[in-house]
A and B are shown apart, each in its own frame.
Chain A
Amino acid sequence: MLKIFELELAKSRRRKRFFNKAFKIFKEKIEPSITYFEKK
């Protein structure tokens, strides 16, 4: 049970570590499109 959790936890930690990098992409390329869709 805990092993599954530890695996998930490791994945989550990796995601958090890469968050800033992903967020930069999100801000530059994805968010403008979201705003566009929302306005529409």
Chain B
Amino acid sequence: MKKNKVDPLLSFYYDCLPKNIKTKKEKELLVEILQTLTEKIYLKPNYELVKELFFEYLEKVLGYFEPPLRISLWDYFQKNLKNEEKIIAGKILYFYELNYLYHGDLSKHQKEIEQFNKLDKLLVLTIILKLIYQTTTLGLKFVKGDIKDYLSLIPKITERNFKKDKKKWVLQFLKRIIDLNYDINLDFNENNPEEYIKEKYGKSLGELKKEYLFDEENNKPGKIFERISWLLYKKTILSEKQLKSYKKHKSYPNIFEYKDIELCNQYHSFVEKNSTPIYELSEFIFRKRIAGFTILNLKELYEILKEDKKEYDDLKLTKIKRNLFYKAIFMVLSSSFMRLAILKDKRFFKKYPPQIKKLFHEFNREIIIAKKFYENTIQFLDKNEFYEKKLFFVYENLKIILALLDTDLLRMINYFWFRNIGYSILFLVNKVLEKETFNSQKSNNLDYFLFGTRIKTKKGKIIKGYVQKISTIG
């Protein structure tokens, strides 16, 4: 209350309050409204309102873009405006350009400003609101040219097979995120893989390695090591025709393409001579089927996808798996790209499944709320309310939208948007990889999961099973 004595206008508002208002809070609230109505709306000339509410915002958003965009700015801002509004919006943008050219010194244009100040205040505020909304959509165009790219991409999102040019686009997009330094690195300190393995298999990683890979203490080969040795040995002594059934074995997709194997008729000598490639292959199978691969960042994913399928990458991905990766990336990207389209087209949402809608909502909460505010304000303007109330409500909502879509926040939203994309892509891609590993809900036996196959009985019946003990050959 001491401050009121210092500011005569503020004490004037307090003096105007009826005597029956007792609480301090209500007094403060009423004074706040009176102050806004008087100083921020009524006494503020139109030009000052535009400068305060719009120019600063536009300048900051434009700061994100390359200069050539300024040329087509007017075309962009004309959208969503009625004819009468277009003329005033043109004037506002003209003032903005003058401010830019003369560094804020508009002394030679005072007459134009005076004319502008005579315009209806509600109309001016409404146009400011619409221009801010358009500016926000500009703010979401984080990199020039992207809009064109992804609008052509969206209608094709449901395609089953991704054409080469779409894949190329995805790779370029991943590269852009990496180059912008927005790549994400999954931190496993919080999600300890050792604990995860123990929980999933009931055994530690070390114990599993001993059992399935190699027990170095006792110099005893593990189950996978033995199976790989046996399969490779078989390959060296079997004919192509006999090999056919093994080639179908999904657990070891690329085993028969493995080079640098030294031929030997005697099994134990074969294993001894080829222990390094056998161990490498066994370790790969162990990681792929038990421990699981995890792609930790987009750079890693980019390198894997870049290789295409001619040369085997580190994960020895099949074409189907690659397409699953692309599908995951497309799903995340399409849900993210929708954020701009949603600001313009209501029907846009109807095309997409609930999962994508959910992702979209998570990514773009602030933008969706701002959109709702914008639409509500436009609707409110058509209501049968008195002029001053409209003036005040539009001003209030304008401030809310500005706070919600603050340029620094917008920049941050863009940053989080990239990070979210990165995280979601890696999450889905790693889920694809995790499906390759043992799942206790689907199978209750790890050995059956690893070595299970169709076996033909002596009576000719085909059963599913696996041979628990590998017969010693040689």
Contacts and interface: CB of A to CB of B under 8 A. Distances in A.
B81 interface: no
Interface stretch (B141-149, B159-167, B231-239, B397-405): B397-405
A34 B389 CA distance: 18
Contacts of A1: 366, 409, 412
A25 B392 contact: no
Contact of B389 (A2, A12, A19, A21): A19
A12 B399 contact: yes
Contacts of B397: 12
Contacts of A34: 38, 42-43
B6 interface: no
A36 interface: no
A15 B366 contact: no
A40 to B, nearest CB: 13
A9 B12 CA distance: 27
A8 B59 CA distance: 24
Nearest to A33: B12
A27 to B, nearest CB: 8
Nearest to B373: A9
Interface string B370-405: 000000000000000000110011001101100110
B38 A30 contact: yes
Nearest to B31: A22
Contact of A30 (B16, B29, B389): B16
A33 B13 CA distance: 11
Interface string B334-357: 000000000000000000000000
B34 A5 contact: no
Contact of A8 (B16, B388, B393, B403): B403
Given A23-B37, A26-B38, A34-B42, A12 B400 contact: yes
A22 B30 CA distance: 6
A2 B43 CA distance: 32
B67 interface: no
Given A29-B16, A30-B16, A34-B43, A23 B389 contact: yes
A5 B404 contact: yes
A9 B399 CA distance: 10
B422 to A, nearest CB: 19
A34 B43 CA distance: 8
Contacts of B399: 12
B33 interface: yes
B18 interface: yes
B32 interface: yes
Contacts of B403: 4-5, 8
B365 interface: yes
B386 to A, nearest CB: 8
Contacts of B393: 16, 19
A25 B32 CA distance: 13
Interface string B145-185: 00000000000000000000000000000000000000000
Contacts of B17: 25
B388 A25 contact: no
Contacts of B388: 23, 26
A2 B30 contact: no
9 contacts: A4-B403, A5-B403, A8-B403, A15-B36, A19-B393, A22-B33, A23-B33, A23-B388, A25-B30
Given A19-B33, A21-B30, A22-B34, 9 more contacts: A1-B409, A8-B403, A15-B29, A15-B36, A18-B30, A25-B18, A30-B38, A31-B42, A34-B38
Interface of B: 12-13, 16-18, 26, 29-30, 32-34, 36-38, 42-43, 365-366, 369, 388-389, 392-393, 396-397, 399-400, 403-404, 409, 412
Interface of A: 1-2, 4-5, 8-9, 12, 14-16, 18-23, 25-26, 29-31, 33-34
